[in-house]
Amino acid sequence: MFVTLTDWLRPLLLTTNDDRETGEILAECSLPQLADAYSFLHRAWHQTSASDLVSSVQVLAAMRHLHWIDSNESQAWLELFAQRLQQTYPTAEQLLARLEEEDYGVAKLKRMAQADFSNWQAKFSVECTLDKLSLQLPKALQARNTPIGYALAIRSSSFVVYQQPLDNKEKLKEKFWPDVQATLNEYWQVHSGKDCRQLLYWMAGQGQRYAWQLDAAWLQQAEESDRQVWRSELPEGYEDYANVLTQLEPGSQLDVAAWDWVRMADLAFAGYLAGYLTQAEWRTFGLVALWLLRSQYTSWQALANSYLLGYQLWQTQTEYTLSPELEHTWELLLESPFSPFQQLDWQALALDHPDFRDARANFSAGLDEPFLLTALVASLRDDASLLTGLAPDELPDERRDEAKDYLFAGLDIHPDEALTSTLSRFWQPGRVHHYDQLALNSRINKAPRLAKNLAAIPEVWEIWQQQLPELAELVKHPAGIVMAEKYAFYLVKAEETHHYPAKDRQQLTLALKDYLSWHYSTAQEMLQAWRGWDELLSKAEDEKPLLIELDWHLKDPGSLFRFIPWKRPPVSFTEPGKPVSEADLATLNLVGPLTGIHWSWPEKLPAWPAQELKSLLQDTHLFQTADDLIDYLNHLYHAGDRQEYLIAFSPFTLNEARLDAEIETHAIEERDEEQEAYYQRLLRVKHNSLGINDVDLTAWDMVQLVDLAVAGYQLNWLDDDQLHAWLAKVRDLITQEYSGWDDFARALLAGYNFFMNESATRSELLETFSQRLLSLLIAVPPQVGLWYTLAWPGERAREWNQAATALTTAKQRLH
């Protein structure tokens, strides 16, 4: 005897299909929306529990009543569960007995016992299997074999969406995610389209994987003692997180990118349903998420493994809990014939599909903002900078306060100082020129030339030889990023304060973008240069290298450096800081061993440090006004300390007997401080200490002149034209007296030694000064070898001196 399915199932359908009982059935099974219901049905299909199978029949009836599914799909599902029931429980008595054992519920059992089960053993007019059910679904509900179908399929929380018609957003929202806006507001803290886009770009380009993978990479190369310190500093409750990371096999990668990109696709769809994104925006973000997943993973299984590992790490760091059935849901996704993972061939999805090309182009266009490049570069030192770049106008007050503390307290920047002049001190074109030329010098094996009176230290020469190959390799990587990345970091901090005019910030960020785009053909090329220079320079600098962060961005398919638009600027563009010619830079750096290197044109000082400098000049040189300074500069230029040597000491070099008599006279007398200085200088002349009698001492006076002229400029006692004029005069004088840096260094060392005051630390000071000279001439360490790379003022341009550089002249850029 054959019966209809409806007649056969009637004893199990305890509901009258009114809204109240329908709601009770779904509430009892904790099924607030269709996604949960589908997960429930798939799970029930794999069970033999009588209560699960019967509940599934009742849930299906409720879903049909609510129009969550249409009659064709409902019929197919009911056939499937009816067959499973009849196969598992051949008689109605067996079913009822099993339900009673499972505590199905007294009231429900009583109602079911009164039902007519006379047709239980009748045969159906149809036979249904999982595969057949898939075929019976209406054509509109079949797997959508397009990129957007795949993008919907990866949504783990409600994977059935991939089958649905997409022409009615409100119907989709009602059917799948009625509380989507509340979820976004409360769980994601998304309240607007800007919030949503910020989070989507963050998930694509950084996400939670960034911090996790950096931790994992660091742990694999850290010492055990450092790992223990790291564990001790983790927040309370992070023990499981530490365990997961430390249990990784040596050399293995922490693959959790799917955790970010699956949720990115989920958030994009949620943003669309909530009205925060247009359909075009949802497609863009959803398809980019899918493209990233397809680029990274070879199968649905690999994607699922990565996602669930990310979920495991996420659970160790949050108070939120996702559905406890999440892992089981993913098992169903991988195993069930209904699953898109079974119906859609992962390998068949072409990465060069036109939909992907369009989505990636639109995704990149959303990053075409100068400040975003600045923030992206800064994010390697402070990953939260990326969020600043994505939404600079919506920063929390805490972030603004931290930025103010950093700039105004940590860097001693005065709030009243203009932004351009504030940041100019960090724009150091001389440093870039030095590194570029250093690489070129190393490529051609240009040997340093040392002063004749400066002892060559074998260990230093050995280091110089060792660093040559690595420096020579960097000749293909312009060093502009070395300066620009730190400048970008400070510029982001300035932006975060909201203290400076928007116009100033915009001008500087555009100038920085132009500078980077000029020096590098792509963002990836910039990262390669950054990594090469960082690896070399971090060996000698007392700061944390960024090698792990740079490697991450070079390898991660989602790094926004891969997507950010990159356009070469016009031939002429404005840099963020002041230009400086190589001749002026060389003249400024005559003071290198005395007061440190100048990497750029000096800056005027704000009021508070200017007053300190003014007080210092008053104490040391009795300068009260600009006229006092200028008078002394003229004295140094025309006479200086070298005049004392010429008048009081050089005649002795022509009469050794007279020198001996003068020394003997002062040796037997008691000497005050001034007489002691005179006596010691006599001895230096007698012994020709460091060649004092063989050199012109103009170098010593010119170093003092440049140092004081720069101080006068910083105090606003000299203007730009006056400082330029003094530098030109100094340059003219020293090029008449010396043939190169080694010749100048020889005279400077002799003069420093001769005129240095007598003190208990004299030997130490002379040793320090000599080491500075050596470093400047030989470039060990590389950061300070400026005299090795700068052309001597007045020197003819040489073929090897053609490195790409950030320096400018009045007429042309030296590129």
DSSP secondary-structure letter at 124? E
The CA-CA-CA angle for residues 545, 383, 289, to 5°, reads 120
Give yes or no for residue 291 having a pLDDT over 70.
yes
What separation in angstroms does the CA of 253 have from each of 217, 220, 247? 8, 10, 12
DSSP secondary-structure letter at 446? -
Q: How far apart are CA 713 and CA 703, in angstroms?
A: 15
Give yes or no for residue 6 having a pLDDT over 80.
no
Quick one: what percent of the chain has pLDDT higher than 70? 90
pLDDT of 289: 97
Q: How far apart are CA 183 and CA 516, in angstroms?
A: 41
Q: Where are the alpha helices (DSSP H) in 155-278?
A: 169-176, 180-186, 193-205, 207-221, 224-233, 239-246, 257-273
pLDDT of 284: 97
Nearest to 779 by CA among 460, 431, 458, 436: 460
Q: Where are the alpha helices (DSSP H) in 639-778?
A: 640-644, 656-667, 673-687, 698-714, 720-737, 741-755, 762-778
Give yes or no for residue 596 having a pLDDT over 60.
yes
Average pLDDT over residues 2-6: 73
Give yes or no for residue 69 having a pLDDT over 70.
yes
pLDDT of 17: 53
Give the dihedral of Cα atoms 193, 199, 203, 206; nearest 10 deg: 130
pLDDT of 171: 83
Nearest to 436 by CA among 593, 594, 588, 582: 582
Q: Where are the alpha helices (DSSP H) in 538-688?
A: 547-555, 582-588, 592-595, 607-621, 626-638, 640-644, 656-667, 673-687
Q: What is the DSSP annotation of 56-84?
A: HHHHHHHHHHTTSS-HHHHHHHHHHHHHH
Tell me the per-residue pLDDT of 633-656, one tens digit each, with 9 for 90 and over.
999 999 999 999 999 999 999 999
Nearest to 705 by CA among 772, 751, 750: 751
Tell me the per-residue pLDDT of 13-50, one tens digit each, with 9 for 90 and over.
765 456 667 777 888 887 876 667 776 777 777 677 88
Average pLDDT over residues 661-684: 89
Q: What band does 128 get if pLDDT is binned at 50, 70 and 90?
A: low
pLDDT of 2: 61
pLDDT of 18: 60
Average pLDDT over residues 244-252: 84
Q: What band does 796 get if pLDDT is binned at 50, 70 and 90?
A: low
Give yes or no for residue 785 having a pLDDT over 90.
yes
Residue 718 has φ and ψ, to the nearest 5°, of: -120, 145
Cβ-Cβ contacts under 8 Å for 687 (sequence gap 6 or more) = none
Tell me the per-residue pLDDT of 497-554, one tens digit each, with 9 for 90 and over.
999 999 999 999 999 999 999 999 999 999 999 999 999 998 867 678 899 999 999 9
pLDDT of 393: 86
Give yes or no for residue 211 having a pLDDT over 60.
yes
Contact 703, 731 (CB under 8 A): no
Q: How far apart are CA 52 and CA 570, in angstroms?
A: 70
Q: How far apart are CA 229 and CA 122, in angstroms?
A: 71
Tell me the per-residue pLDDT of 158-183, one tens digit each, with 9 for 90 and over.
546 666 677 788 888 887 788 899 99
Give the distance from CA 757 to its chain's centroid. 49
Quick one: what percent of the chain has pLDDT higher than 90? 56
Strand partners of residue 160: none
pLDDT of 319: 66
Q: What band does 741 get if pLDDT is binned at 50, 70 and 90?
A: very high
Give yes or no for residue 92 having a pLDDT over 60.
yes
- Scanning the structure block, which residue is given the tokens 């002892």? 455
Q: Per mean pLDDT, which range of 27-36, 512-521, 688-697, 767-776 is the poorest?
A: 27-36
Q: How far apart are CA 538 and CA 246, in angstroms?
A: 26
Q: Per mean pLDDT, which range of 12-21, 449-458, 804-813 is the poorest?
A: 804-813
Average pLDDT over residues 719-729: 96
What separation in angstroms does the CA of 646 have from each of 183, 563, 651, 699, 809? 86, 67, 7, 14, 38
Q: How far apart are CA 433 and CA 804, in angstroms?
A: 7
- Scanning the structure block, which residue is given the tokens 């700039």? 407
As a whole number of Å, the CA-based R_g of the chain is 39
Cβ-Cβ contacts under 8 Å for 704 (sequence gap 6 or more) = 636, 640, 641
Strand partners of residue 2: 123
Q: What band does 574 get if pLDDT is binned at 50, 70 and 90?
A: confident
- Check whether the bond before 501 is cis (ω within 30° of 0): no
Q: How far apart are CA 523 and CA 563, in angstroms?
A: 9
Residue 2 has φ and ψ, to the nearest 5°, of: -105, 140
Domain boundaries, the chain: 2-140, 147-356, 370-562, 582-789
Judge residue 674's burial from the number of C-beta atoms within 10 Å of its C-beta, 0-12 exposed, 13-18 middle, 19 or more buried. exposed
Q: What band does 5 get if pLDDT is binned at 50, 70 and 90?
A: confident
**Number of other residues whose CB lies within 10 A of the CB of residue 20:** 9
pLDDT of 274: 95
- Scanning the structure block, which residue is given the tokens 């349903």? 273
Two structure tokens written together for 404: 């103010």
Residue 813 has φ and ψ, to the nearest 5°, of: -95, 135
Q: How far apart are CA 609 and CA 794, in angstroms?
A: 35
Average pLDDT over residues 332-349: 79
Q: Residue 2 is inside which H or E element, if any?
A: strand 2-3
What separation in angstroms does the CA of 100 have from each of 50, 91, 293, 542? 10, 15, 48, 74
Strand partners of residue 123: 2
pLDDT of 412: 79
Give the distance from CA 742 to its chain's centroid. 42
Average pLDDT over residues 670-680: 88
pLDDT of 680: 92
Mean confidence (pLDDT) of the chain: 87
DSSP secondary-structure letter at 792? P
Average pLDDT over residues 381-401: 92
Give yes or no for residue 370 having a pLDDT over 50.
yes
Nearest to 486 by CA among 609, 597, 382: 382
